Amino acid sequence: MQSTLSATTPAQASLLVRKKLNFSDPRVAFEGTSTLSLLRGAAVLTACSQPWLVRRSEPLLRASHRVLGPAATEALVRHTFFSHFVGGEDAVSIEPRLRALRERGVGGILDYAAEAKLDADGIGASQEAANQPARTYPYESEETCDANRDIFLSAVAAVHETSPEGFAAIKVTALGDAGLLERTSASLVAVGRFFDALGADEAGSLGRRAFVSGWVDAFDASHAEAEALFDRIDRETGDGSLDAIEFTNAIRLEELPALVGTCRSQGPLFASALTPDEVCAFSSMMERLEAIAAEAHRLGVRLMVDAEHTYFQPCIDLAVLRLQRKFNREYPCVFNTYQAYLRDCGERLATDLERARREDWHFGAKLVRGAYMVHERKRASEMGYPDPIQPSAEATHRSYDAALERILLAPPSPSTTSLVLATHNQASIERAAGLLLGGASSVPSGRVYFAQLLGMADHLTFTLGSSGFKAYKYVPYGPVSEVLPYLIRRAQENSDALSGALEQRGMMLAEVRRRWLGR
């Protein structure tokens, strides 16, 4: 595999792709798009590429509500930004848009994008000024979480009915208390650090002697009990040592409250353990997730779990892992999301690939560049821990391409791998497509999916779809008034991508001129 990789350099991959794909042909990009839609899209993208307008979008909407009234403002948004970036208001109204995509070889990733309801001025306040591509749900009650579960179930049904081989996107903060996710994540991080503190070496291996000695020092346990526990954890491999995967598999979150009750001193592991009530709340959240995943599995739909803040992510990863173990036996039903702008992206990917290989279930991953950057850096600075974000855009690009290569070039294993490359970066798309076309990838092209946002990067999506690649549009839907915060957030947090929208606008106008001139 390494020889194949060395023979397929990024430059060679790009050349190979460009011989097959022409991302600059407006005929391919906008075939089937009406001239009116092209003109509207060009106007919308022009507006979105104006930083001053994006920054002031919320006060401008408030002013429009006061001057024109809610009905006129909603109509204006509906026929411009909403029509360009959103699939429709419900599962029925999105069907024509999804059918049009299917006719052009493009699938759908459905996301119920309604956020907080508008305030009296007509627009909900952003939770953050930048880098939050979708909402983090505020916790209201268990009943609200149940209602969100039902919304996601309806999205799964909509995918089944309207988008064969489609995806439904869900967010875990919709299904449980965000504070619970943060507490659970802290507990999981403490378990990992406790493993290291027991005496794991630089390679991440913990021998019998170090384990037994450390366990007896930490807990009210005898040497015989610690020896028996080591044997139980090491039973699968029997190699006389433990790694982090074996250890964390053995120390279940629900068992921590009882375990820390035997601590000899009240250290970080003791302080982070969930209370019995929190364990019950976590179980309720998992029941909602399992209900959604079970329905997706029954209908043959794939479930895409979005990434969220870093201090929620360990809990989300655990939840997704449990779903994957249960529902990814027959096909990759559940996909986790990996953010390349995080410094630990490669490590997480390597661990999860190895876990899937050992446990023999289908590995499903969505790879994105990332969101929440401003918030994450600010929080790290305020709380005094290392910045989790890559130091530059160039470092993020390198991380993204390294991650896609890690997955596509991984040695074949008994379990199959599926990958969603969610990116508007043409160089990364060309790199991945080149590995697929050149035969270097161990993952077949039928299990690699390229995804872009509805209304953006059409020259990438439709060129890929028309050339036989698995191409998808991320299709948000929901009531106009409730999707407005989503639209504002997309504009604010995708400023880099929207700055590149001028290229798409130019292609749109070129296609309009071609049609008018009859060429």
Query: What range does the domain containing 210 cover?
Result: 188-272
Which residues fall within 8 angstroms of residue 352, CB to CB, at 6 or more apart?
Answer: 317, 321, 336, 363, 365
Q: Is the dihedral of CA 464, 467, 471, 477 positive or negative?
A: positive
- The enclosing domain of 15 has a CATH number of 3.20.20.220
- The enclosing domain of 241 has a CATH number of 1.10.238.10
On the question of pLDDT at 3 being above 70, the answer is: no
Contact of 130 with 173, CB cutoff 8 Å: no
Q: Is the dihedral of CA 458, 404, 339, 393 positive or negative?
A: negative
Which residues fall within 8 angstroms of residue 268, CB to CB, at 6 or more apart?
Answer: 190, 193, 194
- Does 383 share its domain with 485? yes
Identity of the residue numbered 119: D
> Among 230, 247, 272, which residue terminates a domain?
272
On the question of pLDDT at 512 being above 60, the answer is: yes
DSSP one-letter string for 85-126: H--BSSTTTTHHHHHHHHHTTEEEEEEE---SPP-TTSSPPP
Q: What is the mean pLDDT of residues 72-100?
A: 91
SS3 assignment, position 202: coil
The tokens describing 171, both together, are 């967010």
- Does 259 share its domain with 298? no
Max Cα distance, the chain (Å):
87
Q: So what's the pLDDT on residue 467?
A: 92
Q: So what's the pLDDT on residue 138?
A: 58
Distances (CA, A) of 173 to 134, 178, 303: 11, 6, 15
Please give the sequence-ordered ranges of beta strands (E in DSSP) within 56-200, or none if there are none: 106-112, 167-170
Count, residues in the chain: 519
- Does 254 share its domain with 287? no
- Does 247 share its domain with 342? no
**pLDDT tens, 332-390?**
999 999 999 999 999 999 999 999 999 999 999 999 998 778 889 999 999 999 999 99
Compute the half-sphere exposure of residue 151: CA atoms within 13 Å on the CB side of its CA: 23
- Does 132 share its domain with 224? no
- Rounded to an integer, what distance in angstroms lies between the CA atom of residue 340 and that of residue 90? 32
> Among 204, 238, 272, which residue terminates a domain?
272
The tokens describing 11, both together, are 């430059």
- Does 282 share its domain with 413? yes
Q: What is the mean pLDDT of residues 27-53?
A: 90
Please tell me the total count of domains within the chain.
Answer: 2
DSSP conformational letter for 389? B
- Does 206 share its domain with 339? no
Q: What is the overall mean pLDDT for the chain?
A: 88
> Among 223, 239, 272, which residue terminates a domain?
272
Give backbone dihedrals phi and psi of 105, rounded to 5 degrees, phi first: 80, 25
**pLDDT tens, 158-200?**
999 888 789 999 999 999 999 999 999 999 999 999 999 998 8
Q: Regarding beta strands 470-477 and 106-112, do their DSSP bridges make them parallel or antiparallel, or are they unpaired?
A: parallel
From the CB of residue 227, how many other CB atoms can be counted at a distance below 10 Å?
16
- Does 284 share its domain with 236? no
Q: So what's the pLDDT on residue 13?
A: 66
Percent of the chain with pLDDT over 90: 70
Confidence of residue 10 (pLDDT cuts 50, 70, 90): low
- Does 321 share its domain with 203? no
Q: The whole model's pTM is what?
A: 0.89
What is the helix, strand, coil percentage profile of the chain, to 5?
60, 10, 30
Q: So what's the pLDDT on residue 315?
A: 97
449 membership: H or E segment, kind and range: strand 448-453
Q: So what's the pLDDT on residue 386?
A: 93
- Does 69 share its domain with 92? yes
Give backbone dihedrals phi and psi of 141, rounded to 5 degrees, phi first: -170, 165
Contact of 440 with 405, CB cutoff 8 Å: no
- Does 182 share its domain with 237? no
Q: So what's the pLDDT on residue 518?
A: 81
- Rounded to an integer, what distance in angstroms lies between the CA atom of residue 228 and that of residue 199? 18
DSSP one-letter string for 208-250: HHHHHHHHHHHBS--HHHHHHHHHHHTTTT-SSEE-HHHHHHH
- Does 283 share its domain with 217? no
Q: So what's the pLDDT on residue 120?
A: 40
On the question of pLDDT at 124 being above 80, the answer is: no
